[in-house]
Amino acid sequence: MTVRLKLTLWYSAVVSLTLIAFSFILYTFLSYSMVQEIDRELAGRAVGVVRSIKVVGPNWFRQQQIVLPDVDVFGYPNTYLQVVDPYGRLVAKSSNLSNQTLPLSEDTLKLGVTGQSFYEWLQVGGQRIRTYNYPLMAEHRVVGLLQVGQPFSGIQAALNRLKWLLWLLSGLMILAAGSIGWWLARTALRPVEEITKTAALIRQELNLHQRIAWEGPNDELGRLSATLNGMLDSLEAAYRELEESHAAQRRFVADVSHELKTPLTTIRGNIDLLRKMGDEHPAIRQEALADIASEAERMSRLVSDMLVLARADAGLTLSLQPLPVVQILQQVGRQAKILAGQINFKIDIDERCKDTYIMADPDYVKQLLLILLDNAFKFTPPAGTVELSVACGGDRVQVLVKDTGMGIDPGELNRIFERFYRSDKSRPVGGTGLGLSIAKWIAEQHRAEISVESELKKGSVFKVTFPVLKQMHE
């Protein structure tokens, strides 16, 4: 059964019950008060009649007699009057009864003789008559019974008409309620249908851009639409992320194959050369072997870089520990001096860093700084300068790697952190194009920020900002 049908049925059932209860109460109350009204009237008339009745005797001359005025003088066209003696014999009756009499049962007579007044229903010539029986008393004795009756058929007919009217109106109203309920349920449920349709469309077309168009108020359905739209936003974002990561993975595999292909080709070429001419030309052999060694080294660097990134992709998290900044910088400085060659290398450690600690993985922080320094040395001519400096202040530690090298094209600045990205100008220098992406990942792991500023032919500055763990004062 559909919700719409259920709602309509419930609605109609409630309306029907209410109407039936209302009609029943109305009908019962009206008929009760009508009878009450008649009873009051009958009692009033009986009192009026009784006042003018005389009871004579008994005496020497005659028996006891009930002397009635002409009951018709009371002039109640619709009221029947009848007087009987204690034996049930008719004494007088109103002329509107013509040749009929009000029936008198034994029980009525018995009860009347006891001196009680009471009401009863009588059936005369197919008419229902409400009767009031009133005992006539003389010297504390019941000498007769006055019956005052009024036909109830007129009222009964009106009540019957009312009953039918109530049935008819109730039926019509139940029908109307059903139709209105059906319409209301449709109106209320239309947005749900819309939502279902949109959801089905999204499932069919796998189109996560689709949203539920809700223009109504922010009621339950509005909130449901908003929640579903929010869920679709999250789904779309997750799906996009997944697609991007798939694409990145595909790109990575393609780049790796490409990067590995070049050294392998060089190695194979050199091996062929060695086979052909190696024995006769020692110089060529030396050159070929040197090439093979350098390419092999390049490949092993590439593979170890890729391993780091693969671990990063697999969700590797570094185990950070509190480390004194000065100690790390000094160690990195010592290693950098070896790499510097002819380049003028300077190291400048801020006095304030003396007791500053950061949360770091020592090996990875060193790797990060050495990647930056290695690049600086690679892309700076022999007469140039590379400077490693660290400044401490507030809750940050700022490490700068400054060089006076070839600089980076402004258009390439935001691409150099991508995997395998190498600018055309830097190609002859060699490298894997993975260094800065590893540096970026290490920085992220340390909740550090890495950025670069550069000017072509003037030099570059790489900045890494670490959050300070604590400042220890002795």
127-138 vs 356-360, strand pairing mode: unpaired
Q: Which is nearer to ligand ADP, 352 or 366 (CB)?
A: 366
- Least distance CB 441 / ligand ADP (angstroms): 11
Among 154, 142, 132, residue whose Cα is nearest residue 80: 132
CB atoms within 10 A of CB 128: 13
Is the bond into 58 cis (omega within 30 degrees of 0)? yes
DSSP 209: T
How far is C-alpha 273 from the geometric centre of its chain's CA atoms? 72
HSE-CB for 410 with a 13 A CA cutoff:
1
User: Which residue type sits at 240?
Assistant: R
DSSP-assigned letter for residue 52: T
Distance of CA 411 to the CA centre of its chain: 46
Interface residue with ligand ADP among 112, 144, 181, 435 (CB under 6 A) is 435
Question: Least distance (Å) from ligand ADP to the CB of residue 344?
Answer: 15
* Signed CA dihedral, 123, 124, 125, 129: sign only: negative
Distance CA 104, CA 134 (A): 13
Compute the least distance from the CB of residue 416 to ligand ADP, in Å: 4
Instruction: Verify binding: residue 402, ligand ADP, rule CB under 6 A.
Output: no
Please answer whether residues 348 and 390 qualify as being in contact, where contact means their C-beta atoms are separated by less than 8 angstroms. yes
Nearer to ligand ADP, 170 or 432 (CB): 432
431 binding ligand ADP? (CB under 6 A): yes
Query: Among residues 16 and 423, whose Cβ is nearest to ligand ADP?
Result: 423
Site string for ligand ADP, 324-363 (x = CB under 6 A): ----------------------------------------
Q: What are phi and psi of 455, to 5 degrees?
A: -135, 130
Interface region with ligand ADP, contact rule CB under 6 A, candidates 20-28, 85-93, 278-286, 404-412: 404-412
Burial zone of 261 (CB within 10 Å; 0-12 exposed, 13-18 middle, 19+ buried): exposed
Q: Supply the minimum distance, in Å, between the C-beta of residue 302 and ligand ADP.
A: 9
Residue count (the chain): 474
**Cβ nearer to ligand ADP, comparing 276 with 458:** 458
Interface residue with ligand ADP, options 406, 443, 448, 464 (CB under 6 A)? 406
Residue in 256, 432, 450, 466 binding ligand ADP, rule: CB under 6 A: 432
Between 397 and 416, whose beta carbon lies closer to ligand ADP? 416
Residue closer to ligand ADP by CB (options 204, 257) is 257
Closer to ligand ADP by Cβ: residue 16 or 294: 294
For the record, the structure tokens of 135 come out as 């005992």
Other CB atoms within 10 A of residue 91 CB: 18
**198 touches ligand ADP by CB under 6 A:** no
Q: Are 409 and 423 in contact (CB under 8 A)?
A: yes
Of 82 and 432, which has the nearer Cβ to ligand ADP? 432
What is the rounded CA–CA span in Å between residue 391 and residue 328? 14
Question: Of 170 and 375, which has the nearer Cβ to ligand ADP?
Answer: 375
Of 133 and 460, which CB lies nearer to ligand ADP in the complex structure? Answer: 460
* Least distance between ligand ADP and beta carbon 379 (Å): 4
- From CA 186, how far away is CA 8, in angstroms rounded? 9
Best CA proximity match to 138, nearest among 71, 59, 82: 59
Residue from 392, 436, 442, 443 binding ligand ADP (CB under 6 A): 436
Helices (H), strands (E): how many in the chain?
Answer: 8, 15
Q: Which of 403, 404, 464, 469 binds ligand ADP (CB under 6 A)?
A: 403
| C-beta of 214 vs 364, nearer to ligand ADP | 364
460 interacts with ligand ADP by CB under 6 A: yes
Select from 433, 442, 445, 466 the one that contacts ligand ADP (CB under 6 A): 433
| Residue of this chain nearest to ligand ADP (CB atom) | 431
Task: Pick the closer one to ligand ADP by CB: 119 or 421.
Answer: 421
> In the window 377-396, what residues touch ligand ADP (CB under 6 A)?
379
Are 12 and 181 in contact, with CB atoms under 8 Å apart?
yes
Q: Which stretch binds ligand ADP (CB under 6 A): 269-277, 316-324, 328-336, 369-377?
A: 369-377
* Interacting span for ligand ADP (CB under 6 A) from 114-122, 191-199, 283-291, 374-382: 374-382
Residue 452 Cβ, how far from ligand ADP at the closest point, in Å?
Answer: 8
- Reduced DSSP (H G I as helix, E B as strand, rest coil) percent helix, strand, coil of the chain, to 5: 55, 20, 25
Smallest gap from Cβ 396 to ligand ADP, in A, equals: 22
> What DSSP state is assigned to residue 255?
H
Tell which positions 411-430 bind ligand ADP, by CB under 6 A. Answer: 416, 421-423, 426
> Greatest CA span in the chain, whole angstroms?
185
- The 3-state DSSP class for residue 212 equals coil
Half-sphere exposure of 53 (CA within 13 A, CB side): 28
CA separation for the pair 324, 356 (Å, rounded): 6
Q: Provide, rounded to whole angstroms, the least separation between the CB of residue 204 and ligand ADP.
A: 44
Q: Does 375 bind ligand ADP (CB under 6 A)?
A: yes
| Residues lying near ligand ADP in the complex (CB under 6 A) | 371, 375-376, 379, 403, 405-408, 416, 421-423, 426, 431-436, 460
